[in-house]
Structure 1
Amino acid sequence: MAEQTGLGRDFLRSYWRALGLPVTGSDEETFTEDDAQALREIADFAEAEGLSSRSLTTLVRSVGHTTERLALWQAEALVEHMAFRNDLDDTSARLLVLDRLPSLAPVLEAQLVHAWRRQLAALAGRWSVEFSGARAVDDSGHGELPLPRAVGFADIVSFTTRTASLRSSELSDFVSDFEAGARDVVTSAGGRVVKTIGDAVLFIADDVHAGAEVALGLATEGRDMAGVDVPPVRVSLVWGRVLSRFGDVFGPSVNLAARLTDEADPGTVLLDPATAALLAGDARFALTARAPREVQGLGTIAPVQLQRAYTPEL
């Protein structure tokens, strides 16, 4: 491969590792012409854009990490489908998926490219609205995180207890229903899911009011998400500045939101006082101060419960 592409062995090894793939022995025939073409293209791209080694590794790793999870997710979904449709055990269903991959893969590949293009266009649209009128500001002396966002968590109450006695198929349905339902609620209310962590969802929104709608939607609609009986969730929402990296978000507001979720009662939404102040003038929402409490690592916090304001029918 090094001879064919004109690239150094160290570059090839680092690229393959960044993709999350094993570097096999030198005597094994592993690479294809498609691999050589992809390597030439990314090397040319890096040179043309003047990418540092760190930036290039991040770009390659983003593709590797995402597609590894995607391939596993799709394969497991197909196994579940084949097992149900053909009344097969798990092993037989996996063998059937292997047999069918040559015909199934092209469709999935085309869907991946289409979805990526649409997601990139959506991102470009959001950035255009948010930043096109902004002026570059040197905030190097302030150390502020770059992006103002509403960030929150939704966490299933007593997840371990509720799932301890479930069979594998039931657990799969439970987790799938929660994730699909949560994504639908978040998206329809104007937010975006950052990631799901088994029994929890991390979401963001570009403004605090949309974030409040997402949080309330998860708390009030969570019991019937995706048309199934999903246990109550505890929800938090914090407005603050975050750092977006690796498809995730980081910052003090993320940590605070995680802790507030732990403090929330089932089916409720908790805010910090600063976020509550931003929503105080919105007639759609009702805010109720809760007793201050000590939270490890954060000291004393005075959470505020968010609810929909009662509007009597005329």
Structure 2
Amino acid sequence: MTDSSDELQQRLERILLGGRRKYTRLEVAERAGVPEERSRRLWRALGFATVRDDEVVFTDADVEAMRTADQLVQSGLIDPSIEVSVTRALGQHLSRLAEWQVDMLWELIKAQPELGRSERQVARLVDRLLPELERVQNFVWRRHLAAYAGRAFAAPDENLETRTEIVGFVDMVGYTRLTRQIDEDELSRVLDAFELLATETIAEHHGRVVKMIGDEVLFVADSATDAAEIALALTERTSADETLPSVRAGMASGRVLNRFGDVYGSVVNLAARLTSVARPGTILVDRELAAELADEKAYELRVRRPVTVRGYNRLRPAALRRARDVPTGAFASSQHLAAEMLGLTESVAPEDDTGEDAVTARPRRRRRRIL
């Protein structure tokens, strides 16, 4: 790359911003017909740095975007009370996407040394690729719109913001130690491989990736069996890959608040706590999810000893795994399992070689407090 980096930056800005910078923030607000303070809030919510009132940094595209955002509010599509929240969510998601795309572009430029000798060639490459990226993004966005619209119209009486779902976390065991043992390139490869495996597995079993959080993935599913298959398949596939650390998982079922692509509520917290106490290669589920899976012959559930974690006293999880041939009586029946999860009966045997508690049922002599 030559020393004229300013020239390249100006070329790229004209391409990416749709024109030259020629307006201040106040001029954008005036031209778009949006109150000045409101335009300031929206700009900050998008994640952009605050600029001085006399700083010329905006283009005609900024004016049009501000005008369009105002029309969405005026039409009633976006409630004014959540306008900033919607803008913040949009900015956060697209910021991550843009960072990844710039990294990808830079790798492409480095792989073609001839581009490094000409700012004009780099600008032409960006100019050629930008419409293609926009088409792909628009297609993916529309496909997701179609999927969620289908779900909404299939259950018109359902509250799409607050609904019953299964929430699951799957994280890599020993990730902190791993980061101290391998270099950045190898760490990037491990994270890419885990993210690819997680997204493919979750999509395969009709779940949805909420977000990747470093060494773990947060997902949701509509059915108990879909959630079980996601957790089991991810555990099995990472175990089969010698280049990936083992994983552990925690899942819980109940009412979840869906807000701007993320999920919130006690069910999310419970799933996270279960993950934190799960052993490597183990999947822990709460009693609600265990009850939903109790009659599924494809799975086995073992009630674990009560554990205390932050926010939950004497939490009683069950370990989930695929059904296999076992001696009669080694596991609780579906009815006994449900009773165990409700705290109505209990008999805990010594831990077996998997670190799980074998459970049999017998009458209780005293009542047990239900969590």
TM-score bracket, shorter-length normalisation: 0.7 to 0.9
Check if 1:128 corresponds to 2:142. Answer: no
Q: Paired residue for 1:12? A: 39
* Pairwise CA distance, 1:54: 2.5
Q: Paired residue for 1:310? A: 324
Q: Paired residue for 2:51? A: 24
TM-score, normalization: structure 2?
0.73
* Pairwise CA distance, 1:50: 7.1
* Pairwise CA distance, 1:135: 7.4
Q: Paired residue for 1:142? A: none
Check if 1:165 corresponds to 2:190. Answer: no
Q: Paired residue for 1:294? A: 308
The 8 Å contact of residues 274 and 284 in structure 2, kept in 1 or not, is answered as: yes
Q: Letter of the aligned partner of 2:87 in structure 1?
A: V
The 8 Å contact of residues 192 and 203 in structure 1, kept in 2 or not, is answered as: yes
Check if 1:104 corresponds to 2:129. Answer: yes
Q: Paired residue for 2:197? A: 181
> CA deviation digits over 1:250-290, x for unaligned, max 9?
11111111111111111111111221111010111111112
Q: How far apart, CA to CA, are the structure 2 residues paired with 1:278 and 1:100?
A: 53
Q: Which runs of 5+ in 2 are unaligned?
A: 1-27, 327-371
Q: Paired residue for 1:243? A: 257
Q: Letter of the aligned partner of 1:195 in structure 2?
A: K
Q: Paired residue for 1:196? A: 212
> CA deviation digits over 1:133-169, x for unaligned, max 9?
x378xxxxxxxx8210000100100001112132222
Matched position secondary structure for 1:214: helix
Q: What are the within-5 Å matches in structure 2 for residues 1-314 of structure 1? A: 1-49=28-76, 51-83=78-110, 85-86=111-112, 100-129=125-154, 131-132=155-156, 134=157, 146-224=162-240, 229-310=243-324
Matched position secondary structure for 2:214: coil
Matched position secondary structure for 1:49: coil
* Pairwise CA distance, 1:25: 2.2
* Pairwise CA distance, 1:209: 1.4
* Pairwise CA distance, 1:100: 3.5
> CA deviation digits over 1:181-230, x for unaligned, max 9?
111111111211101110111110011111111111111112346xx721
The 8 Å contact of residues 202 and 230 in structure 2, kept in 1 or not, is answered as: yes
Q: Letter of the aligned partner of 2:47 in structure 1?
A: G
The 8 Å contact of residues 166 and 222 in structure 2, kept in 1 or not, is answered as: yes
Q: How far apart, CA to CA, are the structure 2 residues paired with 1:193 and 1:307?
A: 22
* Pairwise CA distance, 1:298: 0.4
The 8 Å contact of residues 147 and 241 in structure 1, kept in 2 or not, is answered as: yes
Q: How far apart, CA to CA, are the structure 2 residues paired with 1:146 and 1:63?
A: 20
Q: How far apart, CA to CA, are the structure 1 residues paired with 2:316 and 2:72?
A: 51
The 8 Å contact of residues 197 and 234 in structure 2, kept in 1 or not, is answered as: no
Change (3 A) 1:99 1:173: farther
Q: Letter of the aligned partner of 1:78 in structure 2?
A: L
Q: How far apart, CA to CA, are the structure 2 residues paired with 1:183 and 1:51?
A: 30
The 8 Å contact of residues 248 and 279 in structure 2, kept in 1 or not, is answered as: yes
Kindly indicate whether structure 1 or structure 2 has the higher relative contact order, using CA contacts under 8 Å at least 6 residues apart.
1
Q: How far apart, CA to CA, are the structure 2 residues paired with 1:215 and 1:190?
A: 12
* Pairwise CA distance, 1:8: 1.9
* Pairwise CA distance, 1:296: 2.8
**Identity score, percent:** 37
Q: Which runs of 5+ in 1 are unaligned?
A: 137-144
The 8 Å contact of residues 218 and 235 in structure 1, kept in 2 or not, is answered as: no
Q: How far apart, CA to CA, are the structure 1 residues paired with 2:182 and 2:123?
A: 28
Change (3 A) 1:224 1:101: farther
Change (3 A) 1:107 1:51: closer
The 8 Å contact of residues 254 and 288 in structure 2, kept in 1 or not, is answered as: no
TM-score, normalization: structure 1?
0.86
Between 257-266 and 214-223, report the one with greater CA deviation: 214-223
Matched position secondary structure for 1:310: coil
